[in-house]
Every structure is written in structure tokens, then in C-alpha cells.
Amino acid sequence: MSVRAMTWAFAQEDLKPGPKLVLLALADRANEEGLCWPSIPTLARKCSMGERTVQVVVKFLALCGCLQISEQFVPGTKARRGNLYQLLLARVTPIGCGGGADSAGVGGADSAPGGANGSRGGGANGDSASIDSSVKNPSGEEKSAPRVALVVSWREGFGQVWACYPRKVGKGAAEKAYQKINPAPDLLDTILRKIEAATHTAQWIKDDGEFIPHLATWLNQRRWEDEYPAPSPGPARSFADSMLRGNG
């Protein structure tokens, strides 16, 4: 632990509790030059946050000038070893790091959805990807700054969609359709919820899912904007449920 790094981290008074906690966790691992390389799971445990929440906060801290991130690789190979963090100790007070970081789902382990674009909760499996920020003008008054939207990578988002979509055909075309949309976290959450709702419809249940469209078609036609009726009580099961539980 570097006393210099910890003192600097504590001095960042514009940070909200969530980002400041992550910054302190990084400073706790830093040397006198402000270098550290803790893993995301380690930071998540130290801060009692979900791993994805920590990833978003780290990117936010980099955007507002608290640190720089670089990748580490196994010597002589292209195998990635994790991130190297350089705390920018010369920076007295980072600009643009205040505002509604907590209200946007970065304040703790189980944050609720929030933000203009929405975000999934910051728990162990949550996505927290939108952070409001504010800056102070010379008179000391706060004024709104542009929203910083930090989204999960398209590959990670597509992986979630593909995993929950019951008809797994045409993956390449589906990837292209998803990339074209490149949904923000709130839209990704909507897509996942609408797929779940669609699995309970008669069209998707009928004939063991024969009439389920390809995922690429579903995405290209913006079918997440369709209205799906609430599942009716009864013995009917969705095609996805049938696949998981068998036909017995």
C-alpha cells in the first residue's frame, strides 16, 4: 500500500461513494508511483460490488482523469494477463467525476435500474453502464455535463441474447444484426425481457417452436418493440422451457 496514493484518493472530494470506494481499493494496491494491477474479481470483493459494476466504474474513473488503463500480456505471447492501472497522482481534483454516479447504479453491490438510458443493477450479475456527471464552474456552482454512457461490449451483450434465444440458428447473421443495433444497456435489458415474454406466446410454443423467427430476423424487424401478452396461467410451457426440461 502506498500512503501517497491513499492520501491522494481520499482527497478526490468530487467523487461519489461508489467510484471513490473503487479508487481507494486501487490505491490500496498501488506502489509509490501509483501503479497497481489487481484483478476485477479482487476489486469486486474488496468493494462489495458486482464485477461488471466495477468494470464500469473503472472506465468512468479513467474518463474523468483519475487513472490510465493498459493491458498486460504474458511475456512473449498474446495471452492477456489483465489490466495495469496507473493512478494519476499529479491530478489534484478530477473534473467531471461528481454528480449522480450513485443514482446511475454504481453506488453499491445491488443498485437499482436508473439513468436516462437506464442500466441494469450492479449486483453480482448486473450491468451498470450509465453514469451522470456534473462539473463545477469557476463560481463554484454545479452545472450539468454530458452523460457518460459506458456500455458492455457487443460480444458480451450478444452472448446474453444468444443464450436466452430459443432458436439457435443463423448465428453469424444474428451477430451482424446485433452489431448494427449495438444496444445500450437499457435496450439490451429490454431485448432480453421481450425474448423471455415471447417464449410464452402461442406462436413460439406451437409445434415445438417451428414458427420462432431466426434471431437475425427478430432483431432486424425490431421485434422487441412488439407488445407481448402476459403469460396465462395453465399447463402450457414455452418452447425454451420445454428444451430445458424435456418433453415429458
The residue-averaged pLDDT of 146-165 equals 69
Whether the per-residue pLDDT at 164 is higher than 60: the answer is yes
Instruction: Say if CB 147 and CB 161 are below 8 A apart.
Output: no
Instruction: Say if CB 65 and CB 91 are below 8 A apart.
Output: yes
- In the chain, count H helices and then E strands: 10, 7
**pLDDT per residue as tens digits for the range 199-237:** 888 888 888 788 899 999 999 999 999 988 765 554 444
pLDDT tier at 160, thresholds 50, 70, 90: confident
Eight-state DSSP code of residue 181: H
**pLDDT per residue as tens digits for the range 13-47:** 888 888 999 999 999 999 988 999 898 899 999 99
pLDDT > 90 in the chain, percent: 26
* Distance (Å, whole) CA 155 – CA 229: 30
Instruction: Give the architecture-level CATH label for domain 3-149.
Output: Orthogonal Bundle (1.10)
**pLDDT per residue as tens digits for the range 103-116:** 334 443 333 333 33
Q: Which pLDDT does position 103 carry in this prediction?
A: 35
**pLDDT per residue as tens digits for the range 71-108:** 777 677 767 777 889 999 886 554 445 443 343 344 43
Q: Residues for the chain: how many in total? A: 248
Q: Any idea where the domains of the chain sit in the sequence?
A: 3-149, 154-245
* Distance (Å, whole) CA 127 – CA 82: 20
Q: Which pLDDT does position 124 carry in this prediction?
A: 35
Instruction: Say if CB 175 and CB 158 are below 8 A apart.
Output: yes
**Distances, alpha carbon 11 to alpha carbons 66, 137, 149, 152, in Å:** 12, 19, 26, 30
Query: At CB < 8 A and 24+ separation, what contacts does 36-41 make?
Result: 36/84, 36/85, 36/87, 37/72, 37/82, 37/83, 37/84, 37/85, 38/85, 39/82, 40/82, 40/83
Range with lowest mean pLDDT among 51-60, 140-149, 179-188: 140-149
